[in-house]
Every structure is written in C-alpha cells, then in structure tokens.
Copies of this chain bind each other. A is one copy, B any other.
Amino acid sequence: MTDPRYTSTVAALPSTVPFVGPETQERTSGQIFRARLGANENGFGPSPAAIEAFRNAAGDIWKYGDPENHDLRHALADFHQVKPENIVVGEGIDGLLGYLSRMLIAPGDRVVTSLGAYPTFNYHVAGFGGVIETIPYLNDHEDLPTLIAKAKEVDAKLIYFANPDNPMGSWHAGSTITALLDDIPDGCLLILDEAYVDLAPNGTEAEYSVEHPKVIRMRTFSKGYGLAGARVGYAMGARALVKNFDKIRNHFGMNRASQAAALAALQDQDWLLQTRSRVHDAREYINEIAITHAMTTIPSATNFVAIDTGRDGDFAKSVLEALAIESVFIRMPFISPQNRCIRVSCGPREELDIFADTFAKVLKTLQ
C-alpha cells in the first residue's frame, strides 16, 4: 500500500515549526515559568470590557461565528476611516500571512524580507514553494530602500516589512515609509506588518490611500489589545486585493467569542492608552535593568525591548538558557549581529522584578 501522494512542494518541506511555545518548554522542564516575557504577549491584559464580552459570548458558543465578521469589520472600517470592503479579518496575522502567501506565491516565486525578521512569514512563503531573499538590518533597523531595491533586482512578488520591527523593536517614521511607496516595483506587494504600531509613538503609521495597489497593512488584537489567545488579526488593503481573500479563506474559521472580544477591545481606546503608558514604563524599567549591568537597549516602539549584551550570540544564548532553567521565559533574535541581544517582553512589574533578579543572578555565573 502506498502513502498518500503529497504535492511536490509539501513533500519537499522540512518538518520544522516557526516557534516552540513556552508550554512545550514548561512540559520539558516540569516547571511553570515564573515570568512569561518571551512571546511579546501583553501581560497587562485586554480591556476588562473585552474579557467580559468574551465571557458573555460563552453561552452562545454553540453557534458558529458570523463568517463575514460583519460587526467587527464595520467597526474597524469606521475606526480607520476606510470601507468594510477594505478589511479582511483572520485567525491572527499569522493566518492572514498564510492566506496572502497562498494567493501570490507559486513555486520559485521570489519574496524579499529582512534577515532575521518574522520566521512565521518565512514559514508560509516556503510552504508554498517561494524563494526568500534577505536584506540585513541596517543599524538594527529594517532597511526598506534596500528591500525595495532587492525586490526590483529579483522581480519579487512580495516584500515583508514590519514597522515597528520584531525582534529589535526599532521603527521608522510613517512619513519615511509613505515616501518610499512609489518606488515599489510593478507587480510587487509590500506587506506592512504593523502588529506593534498600537504601542508606537504617534507618527509611526504610514499615511497613504487604503486603495494603494502596492501595500497591504496588517494589524492585530494580540499585542496592544492583549488578546493573543483569541486569534484575531486583520489586513487593510485595496478592495480588489481584499476580495481575493474571500476566494480561499476559512470562512467559518473565526471564533465567535473572539469576534465579540475584539470588538469590545476596539471600543475601549482608553484602555489602550493605559496600556501604552504601562508599556512605556516597562520599557524604561527594562532599560534600567540593562544599565545596571552596563548594557544598553535598542530604543523600542513595541511591547518588548532588545537588550544588547555587548557580547556575541553564544553569550546571549547562554543567558537565555540560564534564565529558562530559572523558569524565566524570554527570547532572542536568531541572526548575527542582532543575536547579541536578548528580547524581553513588557509585562507587569512583578514579572519584570523576577526577570531583574534572575538576570542578575545568571550574569554572575556566566561572567
């Protein structure tokens, strides 16, 4: 009996996963993390109104969610002053990146991204047989002009660019991005991943017409809004582009309670403001912790801070591993020279205190 006949693309894929989850580490070690500061989750939590909406939806969870995500999509359209037809809601930005890759990438097609940027995007592109071309960071910033130049050179169908960036937390002014949009070559689409923009300084959002045919903007309720476990992301783009998602997406894929929670979170902008303030304070505190150890941080527009250990990737990795043994969960960039840093998510003071104490302890044994 022969096995199922996989497509040549899928047969050639490695059995890798983009990220190992903290729960996997906890099961391996047999210990629960005392500080969960590795996945850029928002430990300050979502708006109480969002939690309440989620809970209230539990009694109706026997019903499928609205496949059109009507109420959320219309509220988002009002919020962003675009049309509902410019918005597609999906199972997190991860889900939307998968759909978009499927829409555009056939085996051999080229895609440009920064070296060491989002592994899940790379995972989806590779999953459809795409070929990834990378551009190094420039002074710990993603380098959009060079990404665009590379896209021209290799005739790329997609550019992935996150602003603010993950894993470094660095950012560009929105106006800088806007000025570059006309340089994107014909037949190429820029994915502007703004997962962290809700936490960035005013002026970080690029301004352009949502009908611009060369940009799609991704947003999420996982970061600023604190609803990572609810899996709600959305993309904004030209109607013609957004319509194509409806050809392939899992129409009944959205959780009913998550739709309600995201809507309530959006409607509580005061909470987002408070979160921005808490994240700001946490960034400052992480910076202070770094200074204590004669280290620096990369200025951050996100809910995490990259601490520059001043050493190499091996050292940063040893810090990460030593912290994990002490039940403190953080992550780090994958690629040199950014992997000289460790990446610490913003969280409540108690968790950052645990990180501070454990970091000090660990550094003593490693130095």
Residues of A within 8 A of B (CB): 1-10, 13-19, 21, 23-24, 27, 36, 39, 41-46, 51, 54-55, 57-68, 70, 91-92, 94-95, 98, 102-106, 120, 127, 157, 186-189, 213-214, 222, 226-231, 240-241, 243-244, 246-248, 250-258, 261
Partner of A63, one of B229, B244, B255: B229
Partner of A51, one of B61, B222, B246, B248: B61
Partner of A252, one of B68, B92, B189: B92
7 pairs of residues in contact across A and B, judged by CB atoms under 8 Å:
A10-B244, A15-B244, A41-B64, A44-B62, A45-B59, A94-B250, A230-B257
- Report how far A57 CA is from B1 CA in the complex, Å: 44
**Chain A binding surface SS class:** loop
By the criterion CB–CB under 8 Å, are B226 and A62 in contact?
yes
By the criterion CB–CB under 8 Å, are B1 and A63 in contact?
no
- Report how far A2 CA is from B214 CA in the complex, Å: 8
Identify 7 new A-B residue pairs, CB closer than 8 A, beyond the known A10-B102, A92-B250, A95-B250: A5-B157, A13-B247, A15-B246, A21-B66, A45-B59, A62-B228, A91-B250
By the criterion CB–CB under 8 Å, are B91 and A253 in contact?
yes
Decide yes or no: A21 and B62 within 8 Å by CB, A104-B4, A253-B95 being known contacts: no
* Central interface residue in A16, A51, A120, by most chain B CB within 10 Å: A51
* Central interface residue in A9, A18, A58, by most chain B CB within 10 Å: A58
Partner of A253, one of B46, B94, B243, B261: B94
By the criterion CB–CB under 8 Å, are A127 and B7 in contact?
no
Partner of A1, one of B17, B45, B67, B214: B214
By the criterion CB–CB under 8 Å, are A4 and B62 in contact?
no
Chain B residue nearest in CB terms to A185:
B2
By the criterion CB–CB under 8 Å, are A247 and B19 in contact?
no
By the criterion CB–CB under 8 Å, are B64 and A10 in contact?
no
By the criterion CB–CB under 8 Å, are A247 and B61 in contact?
no
Q: Could you say which residues of chain B place their CB within 8 Å of the CB of A24?
A: 66-68, 70
Chain B residue nearest in CB terms to A39:
B64
By the criterion CB–CB under 8 Å, are A157 and B4 in contact?
yes
Chain B residue nearest in CB terms to A237:
B4
- Report how far A61 CA is from B258 CA in the complex, Å: 10
By the criterion CB–CB under 8 Å, are B252 and A255 in contact?
no
By the criterion CB–CB under 8 Å, are B258 and A14 in contact?
no
Chain B residue nearest in CB terms to A253:
B91
By the criterion CB–CB under 8 Å, are A21 and B68 in contact?
yes
